[in-house]
Structure 1
Amino acid sequence: MTQDVIARYFEAFNAGDNEGMLACLTPDVEHHVNEGQIRVGKVKFGEFLAHMDHCYSENLTDMVFFANTDGTRGAAEFIVNGTYKATDEGLPEAHGQTYRLPAGSFFSFKGGQISRVVTYYNLADWVRQVS
């Protein structure tokens, strides 16, 4: 079941279905972003998604899902294929650059929903690709 929820979460991501992603989360989800502050709750997560949609267009490929035996934790490894559409604060200027970046996400579960999302990627590699 854990891997099914992760798969639904990423299927929604690739479909641009933010509501579908939010439906996979607990109301008090903790979102640990790469190089950023922890955001708590679906509202903050939704704001993050809207910001990402404004600045980036991304599609994930080569996805592999993992889960522990009791269904409380899971992970995914994937490739982010993206276009940098609008300049994000503190980052290089955007002018439609494309990038391909390995990444991974880790999840905790509560009541069959995602209660924690942690995402990692190599920011220096991304900056190199878009600079």
Structure 2
Amino acid sequence: MSRAIIEQYFTAFNAGDTDTMLSLVSDDVEHHVNQGEVRRGRAAFAEFCSHMGVSYREELRDMVVFLSEDGSRAAAEFMVHGEYLQTDPGLPEARGQAYVLPAGSFFALKEGQITRVTTYYNLQDWIAQVAA
């Protein structure tokens, strides 16, 4: 079941289906991002998803999902294929630039829900691609 939850999460991400993503996370989900503060709770995660949907269009490809034996942890490695749509404060100006970069996400799962999402990517690589 844990693998199915992670696969459903990423399928929803690629479809821009935030409602399904939100249904898969716990009320007290912790969202750790590459750069920035930890967001706590479904409402904070929803706000992040809403912002991302306006500023970026991304598709995750070449997905490989890993799962712990007990199903309480999962990880995924993938390539992010994106387009920078709207300028994010403190980042280069958006002009519809395309980018491709490797990334990974780590999850904690409990009682059929995602309780933690941690995502890593090389921010300097992304900046170099969109600033060119």
Is this a same-fold pair by TM over 0.5?
yes
Residues 1-131 of structure 1 correspond to what in structure 2 (within 5 A)?
Answer: 1-131=1-131
* Matched length: 131
The sequence identity of aligned pairs, in percent, is 58
What's the offset of the Cα at 1:112? 1.1
Q: Counterpart of 2:91 in 1: which secondary structure?
A: coil
Unaligned runs of 5+ in 1: none
What's the offset of the Cα at 1:85? 0.3
Q: Which runs of 4+ in 1 moved over 2 A?
A: none
Q: Counterpart of 1:70 in 2: which secondary structure?
A: coil
TM-score (normalizing by structure 1): 0.99
Unaligned runs of 5+ in 2: none
Letter in 1 for 2:109: F
TM-score (normalizing by structure 2): 0.98
Distance 2:97 2:11 in 1: 24
